[in-house]
Amino acid sequence: MRPLYRFVVISISFTFLLPAGCQKTPPPPLTEVAAVKASSIPAKSDAAAWNAAPEFVAKLILQDLVEPRLMTASTPEVRVRAIRTDREIAFRLEWEDATRNDLADPGNFCDACAIQLPQKFEPTVPAPQMGEAGKTVEITYWNAGWQAKVEGRGDAITDIYPNATVDHYPFDAKSLEKGSPQQQEMAKRYAPARALGNAMAGPRDTPVQDLIADGPGTITPAAANGSKGSGQRTAKGWAVVLSRRLPEGIAAAANPQIAFAVWDGAKEEVGAKKMRTAWINFNVKDQP
């Protein structure tokens, strides 16, 4: 049986009631993420073009629906701006995070963020927590550790522990010409996840991964990994640009929705343990 619940979206306008006679009325906070139309997508998070897009402040809530749950709230909000062309859409996500966590090891986790959209725009949206069976969501995910690798962090143990020494790897044997197909094949044998083509294992040329999900625990790489992105440290945290193709049918959709998630590596947030939003109204109509 399909779940009975449906996430009918209700937009709630928060208007501040100001005392009569007050001269200045601050603009009411946005109730939707609104994408501004432009001729091109800015690649960098500090591009001036972002100033043209309104900023939506998305409140983050605990992922506390499925185990393992996040029990203590961390990042309170993520500030979002969106710009689109006819084919692409880009988001700039900014949030506060005191520490740069971009090195994953047995006990350390990476900062990360993601955007989530329904695969199909229908009258009812998928469950906001990773979608549900038959109602797939598309996720664009950025990871600070991948960013560091794209920016040049190497693939050796000394890139993690500079004082480590290793005598020998079998694939570095003198009999194997360095970089030859035989040598590469041998190296792959000692990196099973890479041998199986697991995108987690690199080699990495983008800090972003396209994923789909049909409910908690089902996240899977999408058929194509066309999204792009890059993250930079700011004075207070991270600014990450994520761009992807404009979802099919979104311009004609009655009430499209979007959701965001942020992971704070310093708090050991990973996978299901994250701060996330509910569905948020998403306006991609041509802006006046």
Partner 1 sequence: MARVYNWQIRREMSYWYPENRPQKQFAAVFDINKCIACQTCTLACKTTWTSGKGQEYMLWNNVESKPYGCYPLAWDLKLLKQLGPQQWNGGGYEGRTIFEAAPAGQRVLGWRPDDHDFSYPNVGEDDCAGKIENGTNLHFPHLTWFFYLARICNHCTYPACLASCPRGSIYKRPEDGIVLVDQGRCRGYRECTQGCPYKKVFFNPLTGTSEKCIACYPKFENKLQQQCFLNCIGKIRMAGYISQPENAIPENPIDYLVHVRKVALPLFPQFGLEPNVYYIPPIHAPDSFLRQMFGPGAAAAIETYRKAPDDPDLAGLLSLFGCSEQVMPRWKRENDTIIGAEENGAEIVRVPLREPVYIREAFDKKYNVARVNCP
Report yes or no: 74 and 267 within 8 Å, Cβ to Cβ: yes
- Contact flag: residue 270 with partner 1 (CB under 8 A): yes
- Contact flag: residue 190 with partner 1 (CB under 8 A): yes
- Contact flag: residue 68 with partner 1 (CB under 8 A): yes
Report yes or no: 25 and 274 within 8 Å, Cβ to Cβ: no
Smallest separation, CB 249 to partner 1 (Å): 29
Stretch that binds partner 1, among 132-140, 175-183, 212-220, 234-242 (CB under 8 A): 212-220
- Contact flag: residue 31 with partner 1 (CB under 8 A): no
Task: Write out the binding residues for partner 1, residues 238-267 only, by CB under 8 A.
Answer: none
CA distance 209 to 149: 14
Nearer to partner 1, 7 or 171 (CB): 171
- Contact flag: residue 108 with partner 1 (CB under 8 A): yes
Phi, psi for residue 254 in degrees, rounded to 5: -70, -45
- Contact flag: residue 200 with partner 1 (CB under 8 A): yes
Q: Residues 269-273: contacts with CB within 8 Å, 24+ apart?
A: 269/70, 269/74, 269/109, 270/109, 270/110, 271/68, 272/63, 272/66, 272/67, 272/68, 272/69, 272/70, 272/216, 272/217, 273/63, 273/68, 273/69, 273/70
Smallest separation, CB 61 to partner 1 (Å): 14
CA distance 222 to 233: 28
Q: Strand pairing partners for 57?
A: 79
- Contact flag: residue 61 with partner 1 (CB under 8 A): no
CA distance 25 to 5: 39
- Contact flag: residue 236 with partner 1 (CB under 8 A): no
Of 6, 44, 59, 69, the one binding partner 1 (CB under 8 A) is 69
- Contact flag: residue 182 with partner 1 (CB under 8 A): no
Smallest separation, CB 109 to partner 1 (Å): 8
- Contact flag: residue 157 with partner 1 (CB under 8 A): yes
Of 31, 85, 216, 233, the one binding partner 1 (CB under 8 A) is 216
Of 1, 48, 166, 223, the one binding partner 1 (CB under 8 A) is 166
CA distance 216 to 44: 32
- Contact flag: residue 77 with partner 1 (CB under 8 A): no
Smallest separation, CB 283 to partner 1 (Å): 32
User: DSSP of 141-187, one letter per residue?
Assistant: EEEHHHHHHHTT--SSHHHHSTT------GGG-TTSPTTSHHHHHHH
Smallest separation, CB 134 to partner 1 (Å): 19
Residue 288, helix vs strand vs coil: coil
Residues of the shown chain interacting with partner 1 in the complex, contacts defined by CB under 8 A: 64, 66-71, 103-109, 145, 155-157, 160-161, 164, 166, 169-171, 187, 189-198, 200-202, 216-219, 268, 270-272
